[in-house]
């Protein structure tokens, strides 16, 4: 009896293609200090050496998008295609919008298992139309399309995946009065012809000047005001301005009585200061306190005298 055998050759079966979003593209936290012209944040796929052009300040660095492809043909180049998109506050589509484009994936090629991981870079652009950006989380979605040669079909194939872009706009930061500007306990006399003054330097030094019968006697050590900045961009120069107009300090119980005049205010650092690695800065405030020109010579009544000054800190 004759015997025969058949050998059936089976082709290996490849798993279905999968696209996994390992990390959402997060541009981090930025301050937008103006929108009169277009500003750009260039975010490389490496996630390092971001470049802010125009009125964008990087407060906190985010991370590039990272993706993993599996089930693709081995040792195959993958072309990645992405449409330009816009991001909006809360993802609701309400202006002002951040435009996303100029994507960078580098070379994407699968290994012998048909797998590859890659990172995505992009540029984020303001509208430049003068509108204001809200302090809010911003988000949006884009479709990544992957084009590659499929040997089993002898043709090119395209697969796609929707991915997320996110980040935060925070153009404001926190100012806290850590210590009040306090001229201490004084004895003061006002006169019709002269003024006495106490100059308190931001570093704590004091200088008293008396004229005629006008008097200020400093009975306790005055202390500069301390304003703490927090939540700003790290290693960033901030502009500092303080009240240029006279501030009147009136008796809290008898405001109609004689008052003090605060002017020539100064800060340390002066006019501008640089934040530390945490985005914090301490500002000390001083000024010159003078007696009032009064209708007759008068001793200032005992009690508390208060007034309010304004300090502005900005990028």
Is the pLDDT confidence value at 9 over 60?
no
DSSP label at residue 213: T
Is residue 7 domain-resident? no
Cα–Cα distance measured from residue 171 to residue 88, given in angstroms and rounded to the nearest whole number: 15
How far separated are the first and last CA of the chain, in Å rounded? 97
300: CB partners within 8 A, 6+ apart: 186, 187, 188, 189, 190, 257, 258, 260, 291
Burial-class residue 76 by CB neighbours within 10 Å (0-12, 13-18, 19+).
middle
pLDDT digits (tens, 9 = 90+) for 24-59: 999 999 999 999 999 999 999 999 999 999 999 999
Is residue 13 within 8 Å of 151, Cβ to Cβ? no
Band (pLDDT 50/70/90 cuts) for residue 3 is very low
Residue 60 is predicted with a pLDDT of 96
Q: Which domain holds residue 261?
A: 174-314
Residue 254 and residue 151 share a domain: no
Residue 37 and residue 95 share a domain: yes
Is residue 11 domain-resident? no
Residue 162 and residue 31 share a domain: yes
Is residue 228 domain-resident? yes
Say whether the peptide bond before residue 269 is cis (omega within 30 degrees of 0).
yes
Residue 15 is predicted with a pLDDT of 72
Residue 104 and residue 58 share a domain: yes
Residue 123 and residue 255 share a domain: no
Mean pLDDT (the chain, rounded) = 94
Is residue 13 domain-resident? no
Is residue 75 domain-resident? yes
Q: Which residues pair with 191 in a beta bridge?
A: none
Residue 248 and residue 300 share a domain: yes
pLDDT digits (tens, 9 = 90+) for 196-255: 999 999 999 999 999 999 999 999 999 999 999 999 999 999 999 998 999 999 999 999
Last residue of a domain, one of 136, 169, 202: 169
User: Going by DSSP bridges, is the β-strand pair 155-169/98-104 parallel, antiparallel, or unpaired?
Assistant: unpaired
pLDDT digits (tens, 9 = 90+) for 132-176: 999 999 999 999 999 999 999 999 999 999 999 999 999 999 999
Residue 162 and residue 29 share a domain: yes
Tell me the two tokens of residue 237: 């120069």
In our burial notation (b when 16+ CB lie closer than 10 A, e otherwise), range 268-282 reads beeeebebeeebebe
Residue 114 and residue 156 share a domain: yes
**Domain total in the chain:** 2
Band (pLDDT 50/70/90 cuts) for residue 12 is low
């Amino acid at each position: 009896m004759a015997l025969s055998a058949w050998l059936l050759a089976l082709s290996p079966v490849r798993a279905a293609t999968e696209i996994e979003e390992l990390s959402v593209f997060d541009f981090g936290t930025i301050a937008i200090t103006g929108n009169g012209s277009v500003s750009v944040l260039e975010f490389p796929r490496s996630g390092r050496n971001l470049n802010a052009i125009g009125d964008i300040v990087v407060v906190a660095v985010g991370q590039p998008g990272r993706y993993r492809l599996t089930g693709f043909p081995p040792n195959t180049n993958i072309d990645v295609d992405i449409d330009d998109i816009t991001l909006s506050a809360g993802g609701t589509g309400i202006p002002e919008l951040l435009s996303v484009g100029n994507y960078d994936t580098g070379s994407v090629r699968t290994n012998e298992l048909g797998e590859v991981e890659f990172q995505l870079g992009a540029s984020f652009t303001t509208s430049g139309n003068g509108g204001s950006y809200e302090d809010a989380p911003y988000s949006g979605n884009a479709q990544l399309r992957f084009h590659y040669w499929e040997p089993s079909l002898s043709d090119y194939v395209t697969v796609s995946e929707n991915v997320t872009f996110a980040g935060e706009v925070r153009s404001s930061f926190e100012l806290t009065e850590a210590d009040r500007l306090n001229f201490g306990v004084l004895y003061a006399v006002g006169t019709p012809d002269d003024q006495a003054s106490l100059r308190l330097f931001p570093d704590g030094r004091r200088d008293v000047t008396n004229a005629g019968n006008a008097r200020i006697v400093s009975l306790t050590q005055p202390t500069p005001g301390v304003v703490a900045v927090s939540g700003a961009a790290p290693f960033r120069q901030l502009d500092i301005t303080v009240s240029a107009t006279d501030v009147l300090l009136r008796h809290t119980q008898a405001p109609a009585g004689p008052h003090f005049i605060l002017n020539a205010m100064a800060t340390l650092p002066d006019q501008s200061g640089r934040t530390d690695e945490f985005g914090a800065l301490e500002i000390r405030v001083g000024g010159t306190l003078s007696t009032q020109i009064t209708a007759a010579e008068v001793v200032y009544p005992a009690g508390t005298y208060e007034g309010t000054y304004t300090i502005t800190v900005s990028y």
